[in-house]
Amino acid sequence: MPPAGSCESTSDAADLSWDAPVIRLDGVGPSRARILANLGIYSLGDLLLHRPLRYEARSQLTLLAAAVHRETASVRVHVTGPGRAVRPKRISFAQVPVADDTQTGNLVWFNQPFRAKLYPPGTEMIATGKVRIHKGQVSLAVVEEEVLAEGEIIHSGRLVPMYPLTQGLSAVMLRKLIHQALQHCAQIPPGVVPPAVQKARELRPLAEAVRQVHFPETEAVAQQARRRLAYEELFTLQAALAQRRQGAKKPADRSVVPSDGISEQLQQALPFELTGAQQRTIKQVLADLAAPEPAYRLIHGDVGSGKTVIAAAAVWAAVAQGRQAAVMAPTEILAEQDWTVLGEILGGLGPRPTLLIGSLPEPTKAQIRRQLASGQLKFVVGTHALFQQSVEFADLAVAVIDEQHRFGVAQRARLADKGDHTNILVMSATPIPRTLALTAYGDFDISVLDELPPGRKPVHTELIVGRDRRRAYEFIIGHVERGHQAYIVCPVIQESAQQYLTAAEKLFARLKNHVFPTLRLGLVHGQMSADRREAAMAAFRQGKLDVLVATSVIEVGVDVPNAVVMMVENAERFGLSQLHQLRGRVGRGPEQASCLLLTNSQTPEVIDRLKVLERTTDGFEIAREDLHRRGPGELTGTRQHGLPDVRMADLLAETAVLAEAREDAFALIAADPQLQQPEHQPLRRRLARLAQQTSAWTL
């Protein structure tokens, strides 16, 4: 994104600065300004960086006599008479008679009867829409129109930019505002990419790219402009990451954790063989710990790929040296699961972990805090309770953050600050596409667990729509009769604790009393006390319950090999990656597991989205679909990372541009760490503003 700067006034007194608020534009009042603010648009610069999704070729005009039924066309016509508003029972529309040199016809606007009086006879316009020919009469259902007497043609007769649909703001109005902003912003800032890099990468001047991305001469010019703007954004982003990595990777004696023999000791303690991916990643992690710079590594992989074993290796390396280690999880259920599994893995090697969660009695928590501060406790697993101000560590050498995307920037930073140059591992069970990983975690070393344990069968997934839910219930009963167990998950429709509780308990009561009266059912949700929740989970793990009804608190960390059915109610309320996580709770034993996705929605887009899970069990493909459908911000919370917004860059399509920008930015920071060179001053100012805008940087 270009830095803030001024568009210097020339002969036009109406010229505005790049930073001028959009409300200075004609047609933008308080209401429209609020709509634009919802898009992250506050200034002219924000507006000019609002990215077109695509372009529509409207340079070829169609004569009415040559119009083809049901095809989209742009026609140049003049109004021949008064329009009329038609209001039948179901739908209203405006109909305006028009003609060109070849034929007469009608322009029709559905649900806009007011347009009948907008265009007096003689008005000349270009209209675009779908053609309908009935008994030789040509009508055009208008999508957009442009009156030719109003000035420069911007909506037709050219390659026309098409922007994301925004409620309350028509495409025509948005295009007009962008065109107006281009007219008034006489000088677009030069950007932050140094001239030498621009020349080497054959990048257009930024001002030219900003103009051409909105109103390009050709499709090729539009793509070159998009590439230039994407490069500007990604270069800024990667420079920020390069500076952050440089600051984090300074040599420090306290970060060194010798790891000789750790891998062999761990393997001897395990009742199973490590996969090749686990062995490779453990080797990388232990090398990080033994290095003179603090470790910063992201470990991500598909559901069931075995990340907990990697955490165990890092923890044992620290504890074996008499130092402290902490594992932080986003929920008490996951913290309890990590505590149990890590205790089982490391039980024969060293002290068992201590659990520190918010629901423990205060005297117990106070005692744990004292033992951590004195160094008596070497290994703790917990939730947000770990980074509270009252928690102090004597010598925190390793911090592992599980399901890192659930935590905010400041929370992760506070845990790292508990030690002196603490080694940091962050783990995610959501596979992250390479481009997104390099964007959000470019300051980390990255390990990918791309291999599942041997013998793991893919979970069979079926989408059940509408009234077929009885079949799903019978399927669960059949599996329970064969000695298996099942999960039934319901969505949290509202954020409030009371409604959260009601949704889960209502479903539980209906299933227990009316659907499965002969089965043993248990209930787990986030509002239960830790004791009740752990009692229900323990009963399910021990086979004392047939069905566990839960909210998405069981999305991660729950491992019951005998559970072979996962049924998700109202599946349309979950994201694809979240559904993939839930599906990963089953299929952990030798039996074939199934995931049933229930929905009452008949919307084609919803059905198409959910069918992705029927089609593939590849978490990386599902993550790419999620990224494509929902955008990077929703998928990983990139905004909370304290990094620049990525407006023009399409993270699925700009892999090559990202690689170039990353290479150039890291090389520049290595050569000029403090950005002292004159040609680097725009980038220095831009990064300084970013640092001021962010209260805490991510790790």
- For residues 429 and 282, the answer to whether their CB atoms sit within 8 Å is no
pLDDT computed for residue 628 by the predictor: 66
What confidence tier does 525 reach under pLDDT thresholds 50, 70, 90? confident
Between 466 and 396, name the one with better pLDDT. 396
Element (H, E) at 686: helix 681-693
pLDDT of 647 reads 62
Distance of alpha carbon 539 from alpha carbon 533, whole angstroms: 10
Higher pLDDT, 672 or 634: 672
* 108-117, 135-144, 312-321, 519-528: range with lowest mean pLDDT: 519-528
Is residue 369 a contact partner of residue 442, using CB atoms and an 8 Å limit? no
- In the sheet with 445-449, reading across from the earlier edge strand, the strands are 354-356, 379-382, 324-328, 396-401, 423-428, 296-301, 445-449
pLDDT, average across residues 79-91: 87
Confidence of residue 496 (pLDDT cuts 50, 70, 90): very low
Strands 159-162 and 54-57: antiparallel
* Residues 117, 108 contacting (CB under 8 angstroms): no
- Of 406, 598, 636, 388, residue with least CA distance to 511: 598
CA distance 403 to 308: 11
What proportion of the chain, given as a percentage, has pLDDT over 70? Answer: 85
pTM assigned to the model: 0.64
By CB atoms closer than 10 A (0-12, 13-18, 19+), residue 685 is: middle
Integer Cα distance of 439 and 171 in angstroms: 30
Average pLDDT of the chain? 83
Torsion of CA 364, 368, 371, 373, to 10 degrees: -130
Q: Tell me how far apart the alpha carbons of residues 605 and 522 are, in angstroms, rounded to a whole number.
A: 34
pLDDT of amino acid 671: 94
Q: Which of the residue ranges 1-5, 85-89, 190-194, 467-471 has the most confident prediction, judged by mean pLDDT? A: 190-194
Q: Which residue has the higher pLDDT, 570 or 88?
A: 570
Whole-number Å distance between alpha carbons of 525 and 23:
46
Residue identified by tokens 């009393």 is 513
Distance CA 157, CA 57 (A): 8
Confidence band (pLDDT; 50, 70, 90) for 587? confident
pLDDT at 527 over 80: no
**pLDDT over threshold 70, residue 585:** yes
Work out whether strand 124-134 and strand 137-147 pair parallel, antiparallel, or are unpaired. antiparallel
The residue ranges of DSSP E strands in 58-158, in sequence order, are 72-79, 84-86, 93-99, 104-110, 124-134, 137-147
Measured from the Cβ of residue 519, the count of other Cβ atoms closer than 10 Å reads: 17
User: Within a 10 A sphere around the Cβ of 162, how many other Cβ atoms?
Assistant: 13
**pLDDT for 433:** 65
355-395 confidence digits (pLDDT tens): 999 888 999 999 999 999 999 999 999 988 887 888 899 99
Angstrom distance (rounded) from CA 383 to CA 386:
6
Phi, psi of 135 (to 5 degrees): 55, 40
> Hey, what are 106's tokens?
């009608």
Looking at the predicted structure, is the pLDDT value of residue 497 above 50? no
Neighbouring CB atoms inside 10 A of 181's CB total 25
Assess contact for 694 and 642: CB atoms under 8 A.
yes
Of 432, 403, 429, nearest to 621 by C-alpha is: 432
Residues 6+ apart with CB under 8 A from 498: none
Mean pLDDT over residues 647-665, rounded? 74
* Res 419: pLDDT: 77
Task: Extract the tokens encoding 567.
Answer: 């049924």
Q: What integer is the mean pLDDT of 390-402?
A: 91
Distance of CA 262 to the CA centre of its chain: 36
Section 504-515 average pLDDT: 87
Highest mean pLDDT among 7-16, 154-163, 377-386, 477-486: 477-486
Alpha-helical runs (H) found in 85-200: 171-184, 195-200
Q: Which residues pair with 399 in a beta bridge?
A: 326, 424
Torsional sign, CA 53, 59, 61, 66: negative
Structure confidence at residue 254 as a pLDDT band (50, 70, 90): confident
Answer with the residue of higher pLDDT: 140 or 4: 140
**Is it the case that residue 500 has pLDDT exceeding 70?**
no
What does the alpha-carbon distance between residue 108 and residue 86 come to, in Å, rounded to a whole number?
A: 10
Q: How far apart are CA 98 and CA 249, in angstroms?
A: 70
**Pairwise CA distance, residues 587 & 615, whole Å:** 17
Most confident of 113-127, 330-344, 446-460, 553-567: 113-127
Cα 439 to Cα 15, 193, 444, 697: the distances in Å are 36, 18, 10, 15
Q: What sections of 487-603 are H helices per DSSP?
A: 497-510, 530-541, 576-583
Full 3-state SS string of 45-64? HHHHCCCCCEEEECCCCCCH
- The residue with tokens 């593939």 is 616
pLDDT in tens, 177-210: 999 999 888 788 889 999 999 999 999 899 999 9
The confidence score (pLDDT) of residue 582 equals: 87
Q: What is the DSSP letter of 644?
A: -
More confident residue, 623 or 59: 59
Query: Is pLDDT at 338 greater than 50 in this prediction?
Result: yes
User: Residue 410: what pLDDT?
Assistant: 55
Q: What is the mean pLDDT of residues 422-445?
A: 73
Contact 355, 381 (CB under 8 A): yes
**Residue 94 and residue 141 in contact, taking contact as beta carbons nearer than 8 Å:** no
Q: Tell me if residue 147 falls in helix, strand or coil.
A: strand
* Token couple for 287: 């090398």
| 56 — pLDDT class (breaks 50, 70, 90) | confident
Higher pLDDT, 453 or 274: 274
pLDDT tens-digit map of 264-306: 988 888 888 888 989 999 999 999 999 998 888 888 877 777 8
Q: Which domains does the chain have, with CATH numbers?
A: 1-59+160-216 (no CATH), 60-157 (2.40.50.140), 253-449 (3.40.50.300), 460-634 (3.40.50.300)
Q: Contact at 8 Å (CB) between 362 and 370?
A: no
Torsion angles phi and psi, residue 69, rounded to 5 = -55, 130
Averaged pLDDT for residues 253-271: 85
What's the pLDDT score for residue 652?
A: 53
Residue whose structure tokens are 């030719």: 148
Instruction: Note the pLDDT tens digit of each residue in 225-239.
Output: 999 998 998 898 889
- Statement: residue 620 has pLDDT above 80: no
Q: Which residue has the tokens 């069970």?
A: 429
Strand partners, 79: 98
Judge whether residue 13 has pLDDT over 90: no
Compute the residue count for the chain. Answer: 699
> How far apart are alpha carbons 227 and 246 in whole angstroms?
28
Number of Cβ within 10 Å of residue 42's Cβ equals 16
Percent of the chain at pLDDT > 90 equals 41
